[in-house]
Structure 1
Amino acid sequence: MGFDFLWYDLEHSDKSLETFSNLCRASRTGDVDILARPARWEFMRMGRLLEAGAQGIMYPRCESADEAREVVRWAKFHPLGERGFDGGSADNNFGRCSANDYTEEANRETWITIQIESPEALPHVGEIAKVEGVDCIFFGPGDFSVLAGVPGQIKHESVLQAPKSIAKATLSEGKVFGTLVFDMEQSEYMQDIGAKLLIHSADVLLYKWAYDNILEDYLSLR
């Protein structure tokens, strides 16, 4: 369909690892990369998500450089980290790659995104962005708005100002800045301050908007 990647959220949803694995298989037939989000502190689960076929990890609610280093530790193989080795899973083409080629490619290609979702994390963004192995810093407006006391108000001034400082600190370290967007106005604003990775809403919201429009059209026929 032309999208660069799909984002599968396993922080909030009830999807099992088996369901996620099936989604990865479907995604591979469309030649699209997969970014998977575990819950916070689920370091050991990241290896299983990568083995199932994810090309990257999005780690939520990070608030320190030490926490970001733990993400790298469990998402990368030695010498960059301590990820466990299987060698017979989807990301190794089910054992058809040599162990050396597999671990080298995984360390080179696995994309690590760290989410900043709380006001408390703002002073630490620069330190987090400095962590070797972190590729992208991603602003999460939903949780940030709740923790900033303006739930759901993603266009509130406090929520719009936060990504400016995040982008500045991220770009100064040569890392990619990204965020979640819901319309073109917001997308253009984020792009103007330096965002290169944009995720648009979520499947449930897209369904809701579509059905709202259908309902509005057909209610006029009553």
Structure 2
Amino acid sequence: MVFLLKEKIARGAVNGTMVLTYAPASVEILGYAGLDYVIVDTEHGANDIAEVESMIRAAEVSGLTPVVRVTKNEPAYILRAMDVGARGVLVPQVNSAAEADRAVRAVKYYPRGDRGLAGIVRAARYGFQPLDRYIADTNENTLVIVQAEDIRAVDALDEILAVDGVDGVFVGPADLSHSMAMPGRFDDPEFTRTVHAIVERTVRSGKFAGMFCFDAAQARYWRGQGVRMLCVGSDTMLFAGAARALARELKAD
């Protein structure tokens, strides 16, 4: 079954979260809970490619679109994520049009890209899907989402947005604040102006904006600003929050 997150985003905002730990059951639960997508993280998470593949299967079982945040903007990392069934990649530290084009070319096949072609991988149903149909589906329906998480990306944003094949720009607030010499100061007026400008310029370009949000209230706010891809927390944050709440309740008189 194919889950076209691109079509959902065209209709409105989508909701998801990030998974840093190896937890296929947790991924499956997120789908049954009603989220639209999951980002399996290999940048800050410790997941290897076999674990990523298992979590992609879990996402598919429960109706989630699986997106993989790759370790870095390298064709080899992107190729492996796509070959095991990712329906899109979130690419960190894309700070120029050339770097954005590099990501697109690693995801797409000819004529837009130069990704290595193998018709026997999981993404091609191990050869059971006709090769021409597999190539067409990949080129049309997979997502390339680049992260704006450095002030250099902000400076080059219009050029990045002009790259054919970039579907969306995703704001990474922690690294962005760090690059602006104000790590973690998410309420600083200069930082908030910068984030709003990224969203406004992205939406104006006709591509979608994505945002990492710390809670549902923040997600609702950014949805109102035009953000279409809302990533709320992570599996570690959700578990820690539930554990804290339980501990407080158990200790209450």
TM-score of the pair, normalised by structure 2:
0.83
Amino acid at match of 1:44: A
1:163-178 to structure 2, matched below 5 A, reads 163-178=195-210
* Shift >6 Å, 4+ stretches: none
Match of 1:182 in 2: 214
| Rounded Cα–Cα distance in structure 1 between residues aligned with 2:191 and 2:220 | 16
1:8-43 Cα shifts (integer Å, max 9, x gaps): 110111111111111111111112111101122322
1:146 Cα deviation from its structure 2 partner: 2.1
SS of aligned partner of 1:195: coil
| Rounded Cα–Cα distance in structure 2 between residues aligned with 1:40 and 1:52 | 17
Question: Higher relative contact order by CA 8 Å / sep ≥ 6: 1 or 2?
Answer: 2
Match of 1:219 in 2: 251
SS of aligned partner of 1:94: helix
1:153 Cα deviation from its structure 2 partner: 3.1
1:117-132 to structure 2, matched below 5 A, reads 117-132=149-164
RMSD, aligned CA? 1.4
Identical aligned residues as a percent = 27
SS of aligned partner of 2:220: helix
SS of aligned partner of 1:206: helix
1:109 aligns with 2:141: yes
| Rounded Cα–Cα distance in structure 2 between residues aligned with 1:219 and 1:153 | 32
1:84-95 to structure 2, matched below 5 A, reads 84-95=116-127
1:79 aligns with 2:79: no
Match of 1:147 in 2: 179
| Rounded Cα–Cα distance in structure 1 between residues aligned with 2:157 and 2:79 | 25
Once the two structures are overlaid, the 10-residue window that deviates more, 104-113 or 185-194, is: 185-194
- Report the CA distance shift for 1:153/1:218 in structure 2 as closer, same or farther (over 3 A): farther
Residue from 38, 61, 70 that aligns with 1:38: 70
1:220 Cα deviation from its structure 2 partner: 2.6
Match of 1:62 in 2: 94
Amino acid at match of 1:188: R
- Identify unmatched segments of 5+ residues in structure 1: none
1:102 Cα deviation from its structure 2 partner: 0.8
1:151 Cα deviation from its structure 2 partner: 2.4
TM-score of the pair, normalised by structure 1:
0.94
1:96 Cα deviation from its structure 2 partner: 1.0
1:176 Cα deviation from its structure 2 partner: 0.5
